[in-house]
Copies of this chain bind each other. A is one copy, B any other.
Amino acid sequence: MTSLAGGRPRVVFAQFGHGRMGKVHARNVAHHPRARLKYLVDPLADPLQAAEEYGAEVVDENRVFADPEVAAIIVASPSKTHAALVERAAHSGKAIFCEKPIDVDATRVRAVLRTVAQMGVKLFLTFNRRFDPSFRALHDRLRADEIGKPQIVLLTSRDPYPPPIEIIKISGGLFRDMMIHDFDVARWLLDEEPVELYAAGSCLNDPRVAEYGSLDTAVVTLRTATGAICVINNANNATYGYDQRVEVHGERGMLQISNRLPDSVVSSNGDGVAHTPPRHFYIERYADAYRIELDEFIAMLLDGKTLSPTGEDGLRALVLADCANESHLTRRPVAVPQS
């Protein structure tokens, strides 16, 4: 399952997809001392660049699954290909590092997860925020009972601009494509499943978004069985940059995450006292998280450490997104299915 380079075990990877996120993962694998990127599968990938920058060969899917040296695959190809790749990897006994979503259809995801379970392979779903140093520090301080049980959780996620209209058509809508990260963060911080959900959404900036059944502004309220309340708000027109904030009000205090800035310059003049805007978008904001999640995936494979989020976490977040869609359409709160 691993190669030995210089006497030290390395996880041999094949990666599907070489788009924006794919480039991040390929570079991280190539630079990781305990990993090797053997194959890259993408019809648009440049074999010379792959060889030069990653030491990887550009091949087709069959080569990957036929090669027993490949211990793990990274699924960073278009979303509609994920489910089939995960299943094929499961049947080939390869560990899976999968960009969200496994699929936008929960029934399909359940079938995939059954296959993964039957084949006994590891499936890691990259909800990257759990690996960001600030999110993790807040989470760990919460679990260490610094402020008691969470009572109000406020999650703010706003993109600097909307996705291209072509993506909006096929993405499954704002709740499944964008807020799904917040649903995962909510579950992770609350440490308890939401039991009821109410969604309020609007399309305020681009009427084409509404035509394709999506939204650009949304607020979702989640309630847990013990009465904790979580509110998520999303927008995709944050002129000031990628806005990623968390606030947890607990029995004995509050923990917050403010935005990370690209530099710490402060300017003072007659207009005011100004910081630089937040890091522009996810590639910059979560650069550390992408490195750390890979590192922990490798540690799971080589050192036997446990790792979440799993496919099950992905499914639960998707179920919340489906409830949000239903709530938005019916304009009523929706009970969240618990199994």
Contact = CB atoms under 8 A, between A and B. Distances in A.
A255 interface: yes
A239 B204 CA distance: 37
A107 interface: no
A170 interface: no
Copies in the complex: 4
Contact of A137 (B254, B263, B268, B332): B263
A306 interface: no
A239 B260 contact: no
Nearest to A205: B251
A48 interface: yes
Contacts of A51: 6
| Best-surrounded residue of A52, A134, A259, A264 (most CB of chain B within 10 A) | A264
A313 to B, nearest CB: 23
Given A249-B238, A254-B238, A263-B133, A147 B227 contact: no
A263 B200 contact: no
Interface residues of A, number: 80
A304 interface: no
Contacts of A297: none
B227 A252 contact: no
Contacts of A7: 48, 52
A148 to B, nearest CB: 9
Contacts of A309: none
Interface in A164-221: 196, 198, 200, 202-205, 217-219, 221
B52 A269 contact: no
A231 B233 contact: yes
Given A52-B8, A154-B233, A273-B277, A254 B227 contact: no
B152 A219 contact: yes
Given A48-B7, A51-B6, A221-B200, A134 B253 contact: no
Given A204-B251, A272-B276, 16 more contacts: A146-B267, A152-B217, A198-B200, A198-B221, A198-B333, A200-B221, A200-B229, A239-B269, A240-B253, A240-B268, A241-B270, A252-B269, A253-B269, A268-B277, A272-B274, A333-B333
11 contacts: A6-B51, A134-B264, A137-B263, A196-B331, A221-B231, A231-B233, A240-B253, A240-B254, A252-B269, A257-B264, A270-B277
Interface of A: 5-8, 31, 33, 48, 51-53, 133-134, 137-138, 141, 146-147, 149, 151-152, 154, 156, 158, 196, 198, 200, 202-205, 217-219, 221, 223, 226-229, 231, 233, 235, 237-241, 243, 249, 251-278, 331-333
